[in-house]
Amino acid sequence: MRLSKILERVFILFLVLWLASTVNFIIPRLVDKNPIRERLIQMSISGNYQAGFEQMVAAYEEKFGLDQPLWNQYINYMNDMLHLDFGYSFTGYPMRVSEQIANALPWTIGLLTTATLIAFLLGSLLGALLAWPGSPKFLNFFTGPLMVFAGVPYYLFGLILIYFLGVQTNIFPVYGAMTPGVVYENEWAKYLDILKHSILPALSIVLASAGGWALNMRGMMVTIQGEDYMINAEAKGLTGKRRFFAYGIRNALLPQVTNLALSLGFVVSGSILVEMVFGYPGMGALLSSSVKLFDYQTLYGVVFIIILAISVSTLILDLIYPFLDPRINSQDR
Amino acid sequence: MNEPILTVRNMRFYYHTEAGPVKAVDDVSFLVERGKTLGLVGESGCGKSTAAMAIMRLLKPPGKLESGEILLDGIDLAKLSEEEMRQARLRGISLIPQGSMNSLNPVLRIKSQLLDGLLDHGETMTGAEKLAMIKELLEEVELPVSVAGMFPHELSGGMKQRVCIAIAISMKPKLVVADEPTSALDVVVQRQTIATIERLRQEMGISIILIGHDMGLMAQSVDHLGVMYAGQLAELGGMVDVLKDPLHPYTKLLIKTLPLLAERGHFEGIPGITPSLLNPPGGCLFASRCPSVLPICSKEKPIWIEAQKGHCVACHLCKEN
Amino acid sequence: MTSTKLKFGYLRRHPQLVAGTIILLFLALFASVGRLLVDPKEAYPISAQPRQAPSMEYPLGTDIQGRNLLAVAVVGTYLTSKIGVIAGTLGITLGTILGFITAYFGGWLDRVIKIIVDVLLTIPQLLILVVIASSINEPLTTNMMALVVASLSWMWSTRTVRSQVLSLRERAFVRVAKLSGEGSLEIIFRELMPNLLPLLGACLVSTVMGAVFVSLGLEVLGLGPQREPTLGMTMYWMSFYGAFNRGMWWWIATPVVILVMLFVGLYLVSAGLDEIANPKLRRKI
């Protein structure tokens, strides 16, 4: 039955991708004037284009021109999607969108995964400790505010951090991923610079999201402590440490990981905006600049890739789940 | 060595709620003889489970052990520190739980759950010794060795209960508290489980407190029987004595409710409901339901007396022998 | 127990709910009473001396285009909350109805809707809305934004309501109601609804939170109603004009502080409602 579950998940993955790309296809065509074409026209009128612009327009017209029946356009479009070809970027011409994305993606993945992982692990541990009798009281003091701020969007935190830690006191850099125009003596210096620049954005994400994980974990641990096997574990005279980790956290981890999978969309949206605030050259910056400059090709490409990434991550998490919970395999539903 | 293995004196366990203290166990005293089984029987809510869990100090606030001595082979469990009590569990006194579907950790294999208690009590074993221990424990409860690699959800209710029994005897404790170990099982498996417990008692010489509400099941396996009602002990004595010659009206009614194969026809319950443990009425707590009630019963609480040799009761109808 | 002891007991038991409600009430008061104290027209450009730091005349200062930030705060709170509330209410109404229908009647309808909901939940709301909003060429009004946001706000409620109804449907009291001859609609309203109210409350609050979050995101990206001084647009203008570099901290602080209060308030209320819906999480006094 595991195979059928996997297939079901993969099916949904493709469904999501198909839906996303179709939406990207339909929306510009639903509106009165196709904004892509409008933009192209605008650009040629205002004359700010580079060499090869006419070829680009011609290439576009060939695939998506008005003389093409809608159906053909759609097939061309889907074909492109399968090859992850999003066309040319208007603003970065002659770069193709996929190139721009390839440049931006590593930054986002680095920042996002690291920050989310830290927040998830730290938050869950804190939350679990909060629910455990006999853990130090000062943790309450510390985690309480974190939990209160769990609903605040990450970038609001970012702004606050920028102000207090960046502008006022100049401890951390507040913009970009690396100091511009600097020549590095060695690889170490480069990495250190990158690290320094990533601290504030990562901190915004961690501070804002750790509270949410903590709260969830705490609730889970409270429920688990009432379970029969916990009581029996204590009756067995197991050490507090073993009960906390092997009996408590191990069981609370399962729903917590599900929560992670469910909130991936939210986490990604949040960190995209954080990137914007910090000028971090990831997908967020790409998204924001493509919106500002009406670079629709890039916009659609970015959106598609993000959705792809989220769906694939969700699928991966789904596949991991049976390893965490031995009961999943045997159950048919 | 005829000292009882467990002596409980004047145990009081109250739950402190917003509305006031709930007297779940009120001034209960009994003892368990070495190598024997004491059965504690009574309706739901009579305090038998609370008493057992209180002995092992497993109950949390707002419950509190108000007073009393719990002497396990001379050591007062009530006075031990948290860590000392933890050491005492499994090694000195262990629990066979009620056998629900959830009594074992769902994410650990059986072999881990058999061993972790031992490891946490300071037993170090080599890999080979661990394997040998697992094999030995599973054989004791007549389970195949293949069970060791399985997860709890792969076992039936009866098998899980056997694993719990194996865990409970793994350090050869002095006393095993079996809290309604068969209530969640079907009749056939019930018999097997009780038989296993009984066999282990004889082989290892451990003493047992068996808690339940099924008099019939009790009758088959206990040496002494205690009847609890509304947080207090009504009667206590040798099993045969209590069943053949019950002194307390409640005990008599309980016995009458047992269906016998030979008898057909009309079964009676015991009319009325248990009194509130929050604000118990004065006098004997059974007065409102007692068929032989006397005027003194609602005014004065009956004293715990030894009406016959080894047979105690708290009832105004009985006089000291 | 005296009644005052009971009341304080309630307060102590649900500190989050109480704290959150207080914050939200304060904001509501601020937005409503504030209109009487400050001229809302000053929330638009060229109504005051630009670039003023906070003073007696302009308690929250002014921005670079001459808006009185106190007026902006009052009007913006109202507008942003309006978007959130409209979108949230629409979303949860649609979601609840769908949830009921699909759980109660089951069958293939249920399977189809469940797949749709799962698919839509995987896609981050913000992204699709960015695509939609950027493709629309006319400037958005706040009401339009609310509608656009609402269109993707219903899925969570549908999922939650559906799973609750599924678990309640088989419970004894529903069967009894059926046996007593109650019709489907009656069962829905008289038996199932009352059990769902705390959960619906929590859903409403989270949907509103999500709606405010998404509309904020859109505005900060520059896709919001350009002419209206919502809190998100204020943040957009503030970053557009480089408030940080100009040292105009009051321009940054105003929307940030109010937004943080709004989110904290909403979050506390939703956590409080969660506690009520799931008593195991309640604190022990």
Write out chain C's pLDDT in tens, 285 residues: 455 555 556 666 677 788 888 888 888 888 888 878 777 777 788 777 777 777 777 777 777 787 888 888 888 888 888 888 898 899 888 888 888 888 777 788 888 888 888 888 878 888 888 887 777 766 677 788 888 888 888 888 888 888 777 777 777 666 777 777 766 666 666 766 777 777 788 888 888 988 888 888 888 888 888 888 888 888 888 888 877 777 777 888 888 888 988 998 888 888 888 777 766 544 432
pLDDT band at A169 (very low <50, low <70, confident <90, very high): low
Contacts of residue A269 in chain C, CB cutoff 8 Å?
Answer: 124-127, 217
Q: What pTM value is reported for the model?
A: 0.81
Average pLDDT, chain A: 79
Check residue B318 and report its DSSP letter. Answer: -
- The answer to whether C222 contacts chain A (CB < 8 Å) is yes
- The answer to whether C163 contacts chain A (CB < 8 Å) is no
Q: Do A251 and B98 touch (CB under 8 A)?
A: no
pLDDT at A308 over 60: yes
Residue of A nearest to B87 (CA): A237
pLDDT at A331 over 50: no
pLDDT band at B118 (very low <50, low <70, confident <90, very high): very high
Average pLDDT, chain B: 86
Using the structure block, give the residue that is written with the tokens 């059928």.
Answer: A4
What integer pLDDT is reported at residue C279 of this predicted model?
60
In Å, how far is C277's CA from the nearest CA of chain B? Answer: 22
Residue of C nearest to A286 (CA): C221
Q: What are phi and psi of A207, to 5 degrees?
A: -60, -40
Cβ–Cβ < 8 Å for B168, B208? no
In Å, how far is C19's CA from the nearest CA of chain B? Answer: 24
- The answer to whether C239 contacts chain A (CB < 8 Å) is yes
Q: Report yes or no on A169 lying in a domain.
A: yes
Neighboring chains of C (3 or more beta-carbon pairs < 8 A): A, B
In Å, how far is C222's CA from the nearest CA of chain A? Answer: 7
pLDDT at B94 over 90: yes
Cβ–Cβ < 8 Å for C92, A249? no
Rounded Cα–Cα distance for residues A301 and A11 (Å): 22
What integer pLDDT is reported at residue A167 of this predicted model?
64
Contacts of residue C260 in chain A, CB cutoff 8 Å?
Answer: 149, 152, 156, 160
Say which range, A110-124, B182-196, B202-216, has the weakest mean pLDDT: B182-196
Q: Residue B31: which of B3, B1, B67, B59 has the closest Cα?
A: B3
What integer pLDDT is reported at residue B137 of this predicted model?
92
CA A87, A91, A95, A100 dihedral sign is: negative
Cβ–Cβ < 8 Å for B149, B68? no
Residue of C nearest to B61 (CA): C284
Facing residue for B103 by CB, picked from A232, A239, A324: A232
Average pLDDT, chain C: 79
Facing residue for A229 by CB, picked from B87, B103, B154: B103
Q: Report yes or no on A299 lying in a domain.
A: yes
> Hey, what domains does chain B have and what are their CATH numbers?
1-92+175-257 (3.40.50.300), 100-170 (no CATH)
Q: Do A152 and C260 touch (CB under 8 A)?
A: yes
What integer pLDDT is reported at residue C3 of this predicted model?
52
pLDDT band at A168 (very low <50, low <70, confident <90, very high): low
What integer pLDDT is reported at residue B177 of this predicted model?
93
pLDDT at A1 over 80: no
The larger pLDDT score, comparing residue A66 to residue C140, is at C140
Of all residues in chain B, the percent with pLDDT exceeding 70 is: 96
Q: Taking residues B223-237, report their average pLDDT.
A: 89
| Residue C141 zone, left/alpha/beta (φ > 0; ψ -120 to 50; rest) | beta
Neighbouring-strand partners of residue B313: B235, B305
> Hey, what domains does chain C have and what are their CATH numbers?
12-39+61-281 (1.10.3720.10)
Q: Do C137 and A35 touch (CB under 8 A)?
A: yes
ipTM metric = 0.85
Q: Give pLDDT tens digits for B140-170.
A: 888 999 999 999 989 988 899 999 999 999 9
Residue of C nearest to B20 (CA): C1
The larger pLDDT score, comparing residue B235 to residue A2, is at B235
Task: Give the number of B-C residue pairs with CB atoms closer than 8 Å.
Answer: 4
Count CB neighbours of A94 within 10 A: 13
Neighboring chains of A (3 or more beta-carbon pairs < 8 A): B, C
Grouping H, G, I as helix, E, B as strand and the rest as coil, residue C75 is helix
Q: Report yes or no on A297 lying in a domain.
A: yes
Q: Taking residues A130-157, report their average pLDDT.
A: 80
What integer pLDDT is reported at residue C283 of this predicted model?
43
Q: Do A27 and C131 touch (CB under 8 A)?
A: yes
Residue of B nearest to C9 (CA): B18
Contacts of residue B121 in chain A, CB cutoff 8 Å?
Answer: 237
Say which range, A110-124, B36-50, C95-109, C162-176, has the weakest mean pLDDT: C162-176
Of all residues in chain A, the percent with pLDDT exceeding 90 is: 7
pLDDT at B276 over 90: no
What integer pLDDT is reported at residue A333 of this predicted model?
35
Mutate to test the interface with A, among B55, B95, B107 (most CBs of A within 10 A): B107
pLDDT band at A67 (very low <50, low <70, confident <90, very high): low
CATH value at residue A312: 1.10.3720.10
Residue of B nearest to C6 (CA): B18
Rounded Cα–Cα distance for residues B33 and A90 (Å): 91
Rounded Cα–Cα distance for residues A77 and A79 (Å): 5
Q: Do C127 and A307 touch (CB under 8 A)?
A: yes
Contacts of residue A236 in chain B, CB cutoff 8 Å?
Answer: 89-90, 94-95, 116-117, 120, 167
Cβ–Cβ < 8 Å for C154, C88? no
Mutate to test the interface with C, among B15, B16, B18, B278 (most CBs of C within 10 A): B18
Cβ–Cβ < 8 Å for C74, C40? yes
Contacts of residue A38 in chain C, CB cutoff 8 Å?
Answer: 137
Q: What domain range is A310 assigned to?
A: 105-321
Q: Report yes or no on A330 lying in a domain.
A: no
pLDDT at A332 over 50: no
- The answer to whether C267 contacts chain A (CB < 8 Å) is yes
In Å, how far is A287's CA from the nearest CA of chain B? Answer: 43
Query: What is the edge-to-edge ordering of all strands in the sheet holding B20-32?
Result: B20-32, B6-17, B63-72, B75-76
Q: Give pLDDT tens digits for C184-193.
A: 666 666 766 7
Grouping H, G, I as helix, E, B as strand and the rest as coil, residue A69 is coil
Could you tell me the CA-to-CA distances from B279 to A320, B250, B287, C103 in Å, in that order? 54, 21, 15, 46
Q: Report yes or no on A332 lying in a domain.
A: no
Q: Do C128 and A303 touch (CB under 8 A)?
A: yes
Check residue B303 and report its DSSP letter. Answer: P
Give every CB contact of residue B302 below 8 A, 6+ residues apart in sequence.
B284, B314, B315, B316
Q: Do C123 and A266 touch (CB under 8 A)?
A: no
Q: Report yes or no on A312 lying in a domain.
A: yes
Q: Taking residues A196-212, report their average pLDDT.
A: 85
Q: Report yes or no on A98 lying in a domain.
A: no
Cβ–Cβ < 8 Å for A127, A218? yes
Neighbouring-strand partners of residue B235: B227, B313
Q: Taking residues A194-204, report their average pLDDT.
A: 83
Q: Do B120 and A251 touch (CB under 8 A)?
A: no
pLDDT at B95 over 90: yes
Give the total number of structural domains in chain A: 1
Q: Do A16 and C119 touch (CB under 8 A)?
A: yes
